[in-house]
Every structure is written in structure tokens, then in C-alpha cells.
Chains A and B, each alone.
Chain A
Amino acid sequence: MNHLLRGQAPITDAGWRRIDEEARERLEPALAARKLVDFSGPHGWQHSATNLGRTEPVAGAPQGGISARRRRVLPLVEMRAPFAIVRAELDDADRGAEDPDFGELDRAVARLAEAENRAVFHGWESAGITGIAEASTHDAIPLGDDCERYPRHVSKAVEALLEAGIGGPYGVALGPTAYGRVLETAEHGGYPLFEHLRKILGGPLVWAPGVEGAVVLSVRGGDFLFDSGDDISVGYDHHDADAVHLYVQESFSFRLATPEAAVHLSP
């Protein structure tokens, strides 16, 4: 048994399969950052820090005539979203019920996905993570409510990236409001806005809960680096007569190599 203690939970193998499937199905559409940035790992639960390749001086060496430097690393952050499943629902799932109530699980994975997106795109100062939007060296472009102007804003962002020598293809992480507008809109002549933007970018348009406005970025690789320790997993906390208390968890760090490779379209 590993650190997730799944073997201690009063859950059958079939029950765990249903829980994992439900979590995976809910997570994949919402994990926007993983559709746009480089992913390294998973390196396992014991992986504690990302190598930055940099050092800093250390004063007061224990012996004269010695200079010293200390390695700088980016520690991984552990994120955990707890939830509970009513045991009767698990029993029903084992009997073959197709619609067990996993509502708390759904909400927990949505929180985790949103937190991962926020950390990557808007940063998480106390965890040492700088976000793509906040680090961008380009002026933010106001997105506004008029989605007929979105192609112009996205073109302007792509132009700024090209002028900075950042090659494509490009992608965009669209916050839920902006994404909804893009999906619903057909331009003059009926051509879907979604397809128009995709042609400008040459890369994906991604639904990104947690993102404010939108972020246009190069997806050529090598600019934005997500370092995964333990990839998203469901673990066991405790249980009582009525419910099993579980959590969904991951460890990761995120760093930017090229801050000029993205433009924020502010809401």
C-alpha cells in the first residue's frame, strides 16, 4: 500500500474503479493548463523540488579560504481537495446502479482543476509560483463583452508575440464566460467564431475555469513548464458508519522560461 492508503478504505475494487473513472471524466475537460504547457513527470510522491539550475551565495563558510554557493530549487506544492461519499451509494454502485451520487467528488475535482489553472495562469505567490498572465512582458489587451471584436484582440496578441520573436503555433486559455461567448457566436455569414479564432492561432482554444479573461500563448514548447510529482490521485482519509472520507490530491510546481511568450486578454 502506498501513501494514499486506498487499501484501508471500505471500498471494493469495483467501487474504486467507479470513483477513479468519475474523477478522471470530470477532470480532463477542466485541466486547461495541461492542454497548453509542457508537462514533465509524474516523478512520484518523493519528488520534492524542481531543479532551477541556479545558485545563491552562502556566507560564513566553516573554514577560511572557502567560497560556497547554495542550490536554488522550486519546492513542489501539495494540493488536496477533501470529499465524502455516502457508503450506501457505494453499495448501490456495487449492485450495478448506474447513477450513484458522487456530487461531492465532482465538486472536489472541479476545485482542484480550477486551482491548478489559477496557479499556472495567475500565479500563487505563497507557493512560489509565478503565473503566465502576471509575468507577461506585454501590455494586457482588454477583452470586453463584444465577442465580434475577439478576432481582432486575438490577432493583436499573436502579432505582439511575433514581434517579440515568439514562434507558434499559439493557443488560448479562455475563462468560462469568454469561452461560452465564443461557442455561441457565429460571425457575419454564419462562420463559427471558434473556427475563426482557431485559424488565427493555429492551435487549441481551451475552456479554462479559473482563468480571468483569456491568455494567448505559444504552444511551441519550452516556454512554460509544469513539473508533476504525484499526478492527480484519489486517496483515503477515514470513514464512519455513514460515509467514506476521501480526497483528491496532486503535487506539482510550475515555472516560466519565457515570460514574453504569452499575452493576457484581461476581462
Chain B
Amino acid sequence: MGFDQYHEPADELPEATRTFARLCASLTEEAEAIGWYEQRLALERDAEARAVMRDAQGEEFKHFAMDLEFLLRRTPLWREIAQGILFQEGDIVEHGEQAEEEAVEGAGARGEPLPGSTSLGIGSLREAP
């Protein structure tokens, strides 16, 4: 049995980090499956087989989206950056740069915990202007 989703010793990781790692591994697997179906569909000539694979790929789209939503809910900074990029018209790279800058600056101003910190994450409690 493999536990490849853990990069660090699993027994030293907090439960929440282990869950996070499992969902990251699941997200990767769904993305791989989507890519595989895409390749198979590009070559398959049998219409019935194509219909089956198209349906299966749809399942993977759903799984990928659910995994991603879970991870974004648990990672506010990731969510904030993603909100600036996903489902936006225009230049993807430009949106990415802008979303990252705004989200990181915003996180700093709110006093969000440093990566790996086990603090209570209270930071600043000022109301947004």
C-alpha cells in the first residue's frame, strides 16, 4: 500500500494537513483521468465507445471541480487568487499577476498566519473601510 501523497512523515503531520494532501492527490488523479479520456476520445472511432468515454470524462470533470472547491474553501489565500483568475474574460496571465498581488497584500494587511504556523490566526481585527 502506498502513501505517496505525503511528502513529509505522515505521523508528524496534523490531521488537517493529511486531509488536505489527500484531496490534492485526488485532484491530480482527476486531472490525469480527464487528460487520458481526452486522448482516447481523440483516437476512438466507435461512436458507442465514444459516448461511454464522454460520459466517464464528465464524471471526472465533476470530481475535479468538487476536489478543487474543497481545497479552495480550506485555503482562503488560494481561493482569493483563484477568484481573480477563474471565469474571467481577458488575459489569463494578467489576471493571475493582479490576483496574486492583491491577495498577498490583503493577507498581509489582515495579519494572516505564516505558512506552517500553529497560531490561532487572529491577526488584525480592524473593520474593512
Contact = CB atoms under 8 A, between A and B. Distances in A.
A39 B123 contact: yes
Interface string B87-129: 0000000000000000000000101011011111111111100
Given A13-B14, A13-B15, A232 B122 contact: yes
Interface string A145-169: 0000000000000000000000000
Interface string A27-60: 1100100111001111110000000000000000
Contact of B119 (A13, A28, A232): A232
Interface stretch (A1-9, A77-85, A239-247): A1-9
A28 B125 CA distance: 8
Contacts of B4: none
Contacts of A41: 111, 123
B12 interface: yes
Contacts of B12: 1, 7
Contact of A24 (B14, B118, B122, B126): B122
A95 to B, nearest CB: 17
Given A7-B12, A13-B15, A20 B125 contact: no
Give 5 closest A-B pairs by Cβ, nearest first.
Answer: A39-B124, A13-B15, A233-B119, A34-B125, A231-B119
A219 interface: yes
A31 B15 contact: no
Given A42-B113, A42-B114, A230 B126 contact: no
A27 B114 contact: no
Interface residues of A, number: 29
A234 interface: yes
Interface string A10-36: 000100000010011001100100111
A130 interface: no
Contacts, number: 69
Contacts of A31: 122, 125
A253 interface: no
Given A43-B114, A231-B111, A231-B123, 5 more contacts: A23-B120, A28-B125, A40-B111, A42-B111, A231-B121
Contacts of A39: 109, 111, 123-124, 126
A228 interface: yes
A176 interface: no
Contacts of A13: 14-16
A267 interface: no
Contacts of A1: 12
Q: Which of A20, A31, A43, A233 neighbours the largest number of chain B CB atoms within 10 Å of its CB?
A: A233
B113 A231 contact: yes
A36 B126 CA distance: 6
Nearest to A14: B15
Contacts of B123: 34, 39, 41-42, 228, 231
B91 to A, nearest CB: 32
Nearest to B129: A169
B126 A233 contact: no
A27 B122 contact: yes
Nearest to B15: A13
